Chain A
């Protein structure tokens, strides 16, 4: 079946709910095959679309794709439309919604031009789906040929990280080691879209355009949805998906972001009290580089404000999702899913509450191939640090600051107070959160817009700290933080953490 168009509204389907080589995927593959060879200066080309997300003219992967004598678009075009992805910002979700919307229209036009269905819509990869194999990549993205025996553009020439093949009813699906930690539904426990502490929000802190220093006190921190599952999936699929500049080249990127866009809708629909920010600076931001600008399927420039895309069915993109259900991740691929209702939902708190630092490490931390342990001294009266707080009374955050790196980096998992020499897998109760490395290498370059100071991650460890206190495993003067790489550090790669600190509010 092809995604249906109901009353003029396109329907985005769960890719794992589609039959093998469903026309939605088959026509998507044909569109990729049509768009990929186009010259990069053509706004409907695959590489132009990927460059909207990120572009560096010295990236060897991008240079390798340039054809002899091929010219880039005019500098003014590059300045206006390229390398505009919004990350670590409260514009992350609305910007990507606009990006996907225009991309979908361009692909649809391409498909119609190829004789395909006029109601084609971008499917989504729901890694929290009801099917046990939902964390696997669909077989159609891993097969060398299309059903007619021609090369498969969803697979050919696409660079991805290591994976193993797992048999499913639909064929050999890809296991990229996407685990429950990588698709955590913690984002759905966030009460607010934005918050003074970005890690305590769905959509990120109040920032300026791009990764700008707006009014958020922690300008580099990202919202929960952007961190996990968004960043983790980028890291786990790896290679092209692992960096801003090449991510959009992988056809799975668009299904991944279709799901992230869907999860925003899920968050809103799960509780009627949840709302998008009413702030004018978010709804209709103005200033340099604003409003967001995209090129549509006719190559015409289009302004796009967040307020223009909030209602997906009445917006210029007119779409909806076939399903707004999400289940909590299971530890194995075959265990029945735990219902989301079991999760603790955070109570809303005033967004103006400012966090206070209560401890910090004293040296740069070079993250090794295995487990890296750091001690963080706590500068606060012990009696305050031993008291178990009632829910909502006090929150505790772990700040992983100035994370910089080179090479291909995998996601890092963080544990508190692991016993010396202990295997982290044996202590799931001490797990604090994950650090997806998506964007870290770019943020470490001197050419990055913040001069290469890297990324900062904030983990909400309130429940974990309270549990440790209750079980008398909490030292009020010191906490040990273990950083464990999901995959060993690749040859030539390096990863450094500037400082680890502890905050309360």
Chain B
């Protein structure tokens, strides 16, 4: 009986969802700090992991994927509030849980794909600095494209929720997954650039702050960000070859 099996405790459905989502994000940052201490900053990211064998990749990379996914949870605060309000009181926890599963599932899968892309590029023998520059240029182009703008707008779209039963679970999963998919589409290229950066943790922090601004500014992707990414590409190029 789902009514007797709350999947997330009262912490998750009472009061303001921002608090516990931010707490989970802080846990993610703590994990990154710990993992980077254990494996070395670059080593724990995809670029670093790519230089290791498969077992090392899993050990160092999977916890990092989890941590990186947790970072994104504060961006889901509005949707969590929406799902909670739009659900019967007796199934709010379940609805919120389903939504988070959908969102986290997409982000985790996306992060794994990004890691594999980075790993594959390294395995193919592409020079790290060239990879970093290419990913920065790609992120810059994506940043100023109309498609990025649409993804940014759709990443917090709210869908009608079915009220009861399995279809209610499915509609909550869909809500979270759809938000996650658009969110990942909007942010993925920049995340890849951060992962391939020579200073991935610092880059990740910069990207995260920028995503928060973009998400809550709710206008259009900042063109300035595109220029900043191009400047970063130029600096990376200069550092590598001068």
What is A's interface to B at a CB cutoff of 8 Å?
A: 79, 208-210, 212-213, 215, 217-220, 288-289, 354-362, 364, 377, 379, 401-402, 446-453, 498-499, 501
In the docked arrangement, what's the CA distance between A79 and B149, Å?
15
Q: A215-B16, A219-B78 are in contact. Are A451 and B86 (CB under 8 A)?
A: no
**Is there contact, CB below 8 Å, between A379 and B153?**
no
Contact of A453 among B16, B81, B157, B216 (CB under 8 A): B157
Cross-chain contact of B86 among A79, A377, A401 (Cβ < 8 A): A401
| Distance of A450 Cα from B182 Cα, bound (Å) | 12
Number of chain B residues whose Cβ lies closer than 8 Å to a Cβ of chain A:
33
Contact across chains for B159 and A402 when beta carbons are under 8 A apart: yes
Known: A357-B85, A446-B153, A453-B157. 20 other contacts (CB 8 A): A79-B220, A212-B216, A213-B78, A215-B16, A219-B82, A220-B158, A288-B216, A354-B85, A359-B163, A364-B160, A379-B163, A401-B86, A402-B159, A449-B218, A450-B153, A450-B156, A450-B157, A451-B154, A498-B160, A499-B163
Q: Which 3 A-B pairs have the closest CB atoms?
A: A498-B160, A451-B157, A451-B154
Contact with A along B146-167 (1 / 0, CB 8 A): 0001100111111111111001
- Give CA–CA (A322, B16) in the complex, Å: 45
Residue in chain B with minimal CB distance to A399: B86
What is the CA–CA distance of A219 and B164 in the complex, to the nearest angstrom? 23
Q: CB within 8 A of A356: which of B82, B89, B155, B159?
A: B89
Q: Are A499 and B154 closer than 8 Å at their CB atoms?
A: no
Tell me if B219 and A289 are in contact (CB < 8 A). Answer: yes
The answer for the CA separation of A498 and B218 in the assembled complex, in Å, is: 23
Say yes or no: B86 contacts A501, CB within 8 Å.
yes
Q: With contacts A219-B82, A401-B86 known, is A451 near B155, CB below 8 A?
A: yes
Q: Contacts A217-B85, A357-B86, A357-B87 given: A401-B160 contact, CB under 8 Å?
A: yes
Q: Which residues of B contact A377 (CB under 8 A)?
A: 163
Of all chain B residues, the one with the shortest Cβ separation from A380 is: B88
Mark interface residues in B74-87 (1 if CB within 8 Å of A CB, else 0).
Answer: 00011001101111
Identity of the chain A residue whose Cβ is nearest the Cβ of B158 in the assembled complex: A453
B81, A213: Cβ atoms closer than 8 Å: yes
Chain B neighbourhood of A449, CB < 8 A:
153, 218-219
B69 to chain A, nearest CB (A): 22
Pick 6 A–B contacts, CB within 8 A, sort by A: A288-B217, A289-B219, A402-B158, A447-B149, A448-B153, A499-B161
Compute how far the CA of A447 lies from the CA of B147 in the bound complex, rounded to whole angstroms: 10
Q: Whole-angstrom distance between the alpha carbons of A217 and B164 in the complex?
A: 21
Which residue of chain A lies nearest to B150 when distances are taken between CB atoms in the complex? A446
For B162, the chain A residues whose CB sits under 8 A away are 362
Binary interface encoding of chain B residues 217-232 relative to chain A, with 1 for a CB under 8 A from any of its CBs, else 0: 1111000000000000
The reply on B213 being an interface residue by CB < 8 A is yes
Which residues of A sit under 8 angstroms from B155, Cβ to Cβ? 451
Residues of B within 8 A of A446 (CB): 150, 153-154
Looking at the assembled complex, report how far the CB atom of B208 sits from the nearest CB atom of chain A, in whole angstroms: 17
Known: A208-B216, A357-B88, A449-B218. A499 touches B78 (CB 8 A): no
Q: What residues of B have a CB within 8 angstroms of the CB of A210 in the complex?
A: 218
Which of B164, B167, B217 is most buried by chain A, counting CB atoms within 10 A of its CB? B217
Which of B82, B86, B154, B219 has most chain A Cβ within 10 Å? B86
Residue of chain A at shortest CB distance from B161: A499
B153 contacts A447, CB within 8 Å?
A: yes
A448 to B153, CA, bound (A): 7
Q: Which residues on A sit within 8 Å (CB–CB) of B87? A: 357
C-alpha gap A360/B81 in the complex (Å): 18
Interface residue ranges of B160-192 to A (CB < 8 Å):
160-164, 167, 182
Contact at B160–A499, with CB atoms within 8 Å?
yes
Residue in A closest to B18 when the chains form the complex, CB atoms: A215
By a CB distance below 8 angstroms, the chain B residues around A379 are 88, 163-164
A359 to B89, alpha carbons, bound, how many Å? Answer: 11
A217 touches B81 (CB 8 A): yes
Measured between beta carbons, the chain A residues less than 8 angstroms from B163 are: 357, 359-362, 377, 379, 499, 501
